[in-house]
Amino acid sequence: MSEEEIRSQISAKEDDITRVEEESSKKDASAEKEIEDQFDPKINETKSKLEEEETLRDEAIEKAAEWTQKKKEKIAAAKDESKALSKLKSDKTKALNDKLKSIESEKKKKIKDIQKEINALKKQLSNLEKAKAKAAAAAELEE
């Protein structure tokens, strides 16, 4: 392989790194959007349910004498919705963090593999340059 071909391959590999970083950046953005699309409707629905349950709970407290049993049911329902909301928010954060970690790990692996290829090509280029210099020195000695 000629020096120019090796330099061209190094440049192509460096372009691969740039491409991998761009792909990873796009994946990061789409992962966040994907997780939001997956969880936000459920969170919004659960928030609405929670607000509704809390309103009904407050009414039940005001009419405690008449509504003692209803008050207890709505407190339990609001508590359940609050727990569900907390769990969904926690699950969303965990899912996003897991996905981003996975993407970052994949990016690092690809970059590491490409860097190994670049280093091998640089070594090959260095060996070619040394051989060329040796040949030039040998040619000078013959003169």
What integer is the mean pLDDT of 27-52?
Answer: 91
Using 50, 70 and 90 to split pLDDT, how confident is the model at 29? confident
Residue 38: name the closest of 1, 110, 93 by CA: 93
Domain ranges of the chain: 3-142
What integer is the mean pLDDT of 32-61?
Answer: 90
Say how far apart CA 121 and CA 63 lie, in whole Å: 81
Q: What dotted CATH number matches 3-142?
A: 1.10.287
DSSP assignment of the chain equals: --HHHHHHHHHHHHHHHHHHHHHHHHHHHHHHHHHHHHHHHHHHHHHHHHHHHHHHHHHHHHTHHHHHHHHHHHHHHHHHHHHHHHHHHHHHHHHHHHHHHHHHHHHHHHHHHHHHHHHHHHHHHHHHHHHHHHHHHHHHHH-
Residue showing tokens 């090509």:
121
Residue 30: what pLDDT? 87
Say how far apart CA 49 and CA 25 lie, in whole Å: 36
Q: Is the pLDDT of residue 137 over 80?
A: yes
pLDDT tens by residue, 117-136 = 999 999 999 999 999 988 88
Residue showing tokens 């000078």:
140
pLDDT tens by residue, 47-88 = 999 999 999 888 877 776 676 787 788 899 999 999 999 999
pTM flag (> 0.85)? no
